Amino acid sequence: MTTDSQPTRAASARPGPRFLVIGAGMSGILSAIKLKEAGFDDFAIYEKADRLGGTWRENTYPGISCDVPSHFYSYSFAPNPEWSHRFSPGAEIQAYFEDVARRYGVSSRIQFGKEVTRCAFEDGRWQIETDDGATDAGDFVIAATGVLHHPAYPDIQGLDSFEGSVFHSARWNRALPLAGKRVGVIGTGSSAIQIVSALVDEVAELSLFQRTAQWVLPVENPAYSEEEKAEFRRRPEAMAEIREEASRAFTEGFANVLVDAESPLLQAIQDLCAANLENNVTDPELREKLRPDYRATCKRLIMSEDFYQAIQRPNARLVTEGIERVEKSGVRTRDGRLHELDVLVLATGFGVERFVRPMQVTGRGGMALDEVWKDGPFAYMAISVPDFPNFFMLNGPNGPVGNFSLIDVAELQFAYILQLVDQVRSGACREVCASWEAMRRFDAERREAAKSTIWASGCKSWYLDDSGLPTAWPWTFDRFREEMSQPRLGDFDTR
Ligand SMILES: Cc1cc2nc3c(=O)[nH]c(=O)nc-3n(C[C@H](O)[C@H](O)[C@H](O)COP(=O)(O)OP(=O)(O)OC[C@H]3O[C@@H](n4cnc5c(N)ncnc54)[C@H](O)[C@@H]3O)c2cc1C
């Protein structure tokens, strides 16, 4: 291993590094804007879909909105005075990313309809291939391929036999009219809860198939008035103040405390959720069915202003019996009952362990990322994998996930990556990635810290790996911010 506290070899006089950005969601757009800003204009952005936006392009289900305040879920450099609500709907978020990408001259640089299928480090450079057989080469890869990207389908017997319409929440069939239909929703994550609230008054019957009850934090979602928007346009500092306040609230009241299961602030969140359940669900039997048997925030916390009202509508049913199988006319539960349906929505989440894949990525000496990650994905500081030089991930494995702005996370990560790129730009080295030694140390510390987080307090969630250990950043968000402010260069293998 070499360290780059001192230059090891001067870079050759190449005209300037070329960057390959994979993915044009929030992170890919950010990368392109920041590369331009840093004076790197030689880059390509590959996007497999025919539109940018990632998550917000793909999730168009009724009721979709962000669950962190919109002025916080915005790029820090591109505040948006037009947000309609405190938590604005998904279509607005999609429009925001499209607008920012256009204004910053990024849209025209995206190569749409090109999925990167192969990405190999050969002779000191990254060679990529797209699904149409085209190739490209570059010095750096920015993998902005998303976390909640590949829909996870439940393994339920007979799903194929259903004669109504069935689709995943991230593949919503918008052409299908739902008025007067009997709709079933499987799952109780954030998407399911948003769908139930939005649909219940439109459909004839709504059945929510619940395996695990969820704690629900009550939030209000007021619309911004035209006067407020005018004020935001006139005085951008007003938006900055809201952003700052939301950032502080989410960091101090939330992200920082999740990592300490004993924190009194977690108890305060628990109390708020419990009071929401007690005060807003009148039928004691329904209330008990909706009461989780684990601690609030062990799973990603649901924020909703109206879910409990929705599930108590006369046409709504909470089904907790457990699904036996799907039949041609509906869902058969373990108590033998058939729930007849016209539409079945699978709000069953995402394959979060897939990160970057199915792209075939090979690092030094043809080492396959699939092989390196055979026991589960990992990355030093969520960004770099040893022996995959000049390959950086945004929102990669072991990064902060939870109820806060992943835009904030990606911005911090990109600033860190640029400092690593600077090692190459300055001629200190030509290749930079985490050393194995640093990776092992980071992973051991991460595993140890993960045990005392709330996510390890006894529930099943997508935060856990196969062994039941939380995979997310297990320290405070303040620590993440601090780590991201400056790479510990001694932890990097530079050549
Ligand atoms: C329903 C839902 C609600 C959410 N709400 C919030 C929220 O309130 N707050 C929050 O912070 N986060 C939220 N998230 C998380 C959200 O995913 C992130 O905030 C953010 O949008 C991620 O952006 P990204 O660019 O990293 O990934 P994505 O948005 O997933 O974009 C990745 C892009 O890469 C492309 N791509 C992938 N592989 C390839 C390849 N091999 N070749 C070419 N292109 C490829 C994809 O097509 C996609 O466009 C939510 C996620 C979901 C699913």
Phi-psi label, residue 346: left if phi above 0, alpha if psi -120 to 50, beta otherwise: beta
Largest CA distance in the chain: 74
pLDDT digits (tens, 9 = 90+) for 361-378: 999 999 999 999 999 999
pLDDT reading at 2 higher than 70? no
Q: Which atom of ligand 1 is nearest to the CA of 359?
A: 41
Among candidate residues 399, 383, 393, the one with its CA nearest the CA of residue 472: 399
Joined together, the tokens standing for residue 337 give 């009952």
Q: Which helix (H) or strand (E) holds 326?
A: strand 323-327
pLDDT, average across residues 43-62: 98
Reported confidence tier of residue 256, pLDDT bands at 50, 70, 90? confident
What are the C-alpha distances in Å from 161 to residues 155, 157, 165, 241, 488?
Answer: 13, 9, 11, 53, 55
pLDDT digits (tens, 9 = 90+) for 438-471: 999 999 999 999 999 999 999 999 889 989 999 9
How far, in Å, from the CA of 8 to the mean position of ligand 1? 37
Spatial separation of the C-alpha atoms in residues 133 and 221, rounded to whole Å:
47
- The predicted model scores a pTM of 0.95
pLDDT, average across residues 77-103: 98
pLDDT reading at 478 higher than 70? yes
Spatial separation of the C-alpha atoms in residues 432 and 114, rounded to whole Å:
27
pLDDT reading at 14 higher than 90? no
* Per-residue pLDDT at 28: 98
Among candidate residues 61, 293, 287, the one with its CA nearest the CA of residue 174: 61
Summary mean pLDDT of the chain: 94
Q: Which atom of ligand 1 is nearest to the CA of 67?
A: 8
* Per-residue pLDDT at 15: 67
pLDDT reading at 5 higher than 70? no
Q: Which helix (H) or strand (E) holds 95?
A: helix 90-103
pLDDT reading at 12 higher than 50? no
The residue whose CB lies within 8 Å of the most ligand 1 atoms, and thus the one to mutate among 20, 58, 406, 407, is 406
Among candidate residues 185, 200, 193, the one with its CA nearest the CA of residue 214: 193
pLDDT, average across residues 181-205: 98
Q: Which helix (H) or strand (E) holds 28?
A: helix 26-37
Find all residues with CB under 8 Å of 97, minimum gap 6, and list them: 25, 26, 29, 52, 53, 56
pLDDT reading at 161 higher than 70? yes
Q: Which helix (H) or strand (E) holds 195?
A: helix 190-199
* Per-residue pLDDT at 141: 98
Q: Cβ distance 323 to 158 under 8 Å?
A: no
Spatial separation of the C-alpha atoms in residues 168 and 153, rounded to whole Å:
7
Reported confidence tier of residue 402, pLDDT bands at 50, 70, 90? confident
How far, in Å, from the CA of 54 to the mean position of ligand 1? 5
Spatial separation of the C-alpha atoms in residues 396 and 393, rounded to whole Å:
5
Residue nearest to atom 20 of ligand 1 (CA): 26
Spatial separation of the C-alpha atoms in residues 87 and 64, rounded to whole Å:
10
Pseudo-torsion of CA 98, 99, 104, 105, nearest 10°?
60
How far, in Å, from the CA of 212 to the mean position of ligand 1? 25
Q: Cβ distance 47 to 225 under 8 Å?
A: no
Pseudo-torsion of CA 188, 193, 197, 203, nearest 10°?
-40
Spatial separation of the C-alpha atoms in residues 470 and 33, rounded to whole Å:
32
Spatial separation of the C-alpha atoms in residues 411 and 308, rounded to whole Å:
35
pLDDT digits (tens, 9 = 90+) for 115-158: 999 999 999 999 999 999 999 999 999 999 999 999 999 999 99
* Per-residue pLDDT at 6: 35
| Beta bridge partners of residue 62, listed in sequence order | none
Reported confidence tier of residue 250, pLDDT bands at 50, 70, 90? confident
What are the C-alpha distances in Å from 352 to residues 1, 132, 368?
Answer: 31, 26, 19
What are the C-alpha distances in Å from 484 to residues 66, 313, 356, 479?
Answer: 25, 47, 21, 8
Q: Which atom of ligand 1 is nearest to the CA of 149?
A: 30
User: DSSP code of 252?
Assistant: I
Any residues with Cβ below 6 Å from ligand 1, and which? Answer: 22-28, 46-49, 54-55, 59, 64, 66-68, 73, 115-116, 144-149, 191, 359, 394-395, 405-406
Lowest-pLDDT choice from 41-50, 166-175, 254-263, 476-485: 254-263
The residue whose CB lies within 8 Å of the most ligand 1 atoms, and thus the one to mutate among 148, 352, 411, is 148
Percent of the chain with pLDDT over 70: 97
Percent of the chain with pLDDT over 90: 91
Q: Cβ distance 288 to 481 under 8 Å?
A: no
Lowest-pLDDT choice from 9-23, 43-57, 65-79, 399-413: 9-23
* Per-residue pLDDT at 144: 98
pLDDT reading at 286 higher than 60? yes
